[in-house]
Structure 1
């Protein structure tokens, strides 16, 4: 049961529901996770997150991820979590959990997820796709609100 709860905690961290608290030991764990996760590891994390999000009823119709592919993403990410926690960052994990509780793992993996997602958003194709939003914004209305808040348009 405890392992199942741990897996749920990992998933929650990647889906943005981890608590924001981070202490010195969590910081060390975070640094280790980020340093230990290769670019390929980070890609695997993002594929896993994407495949999980694609299950949402409002999004599912737009995805063609098969259950076999999803299982592969789950397996690879499970192996990655295991390696990071039990091998690469073992000492930092033990210290963080001992001094700051299980939440330290959640907050550290949350940061790793944020770092990994930067790779997705930095791709020129993604930036170009997201820029399509600009043509549908009411820039005058947005500027008016920002000016009311004290921001001077440039």
Structure 2
């Protein structure tokens, strides 16, 4: 993934967290922004699975079954959180 994609994934993770009942009062993220971010993440993940890494996806799913996708999404989430936390103003 490229730098801009990692930043947009970080934004997607934040927007998902902003819906949490404890966080929502501190955030002014609109439903439209959430929808746009969800669509972006869906397109990115679809591209990664179908265009960028189809052989790896096939191999991983043959070896691990559905757990391969769980692990992949875990890694994507961790990468997005790393991107969020790497910002000097955050930590």
Q: Provide TM-score, normalisation by structure 1.
A: 0.56
Q: Is there any run of 5+ residues in structure 2 with no aligned partner, and where?
A: none
Structure 1 gap segments, 5+ residues each: 1-36, 128-154
CA distance in 1, matches of 2:72, 2:52: 14
Match of 1:52 in 2: 16
Residue 109 (structure 1) aligned with residue 73 (structure 2): yes
Q: Give the superposition deviation at 1:116.
A: 2.9
Matched, 1:121 2:81: no
- The Cα RMSD (Å) is 1.2
Distance in 1 of aligned mates of 2:84 and 2:19? 20
Give, in whole Å, the separation in 2 of the partners of 1:108 and 1:90: 13
Q: Give the TM-score of the pair, scaled to structure 2.
A: 0.91
Match for residue 64 of structure 1 among 28, 46, 57:
28
Larger radius of gyration: 1
| Runs of 4 or more consecutive aligned structure 1 residues displaced over 6 Å after TM superposition | none
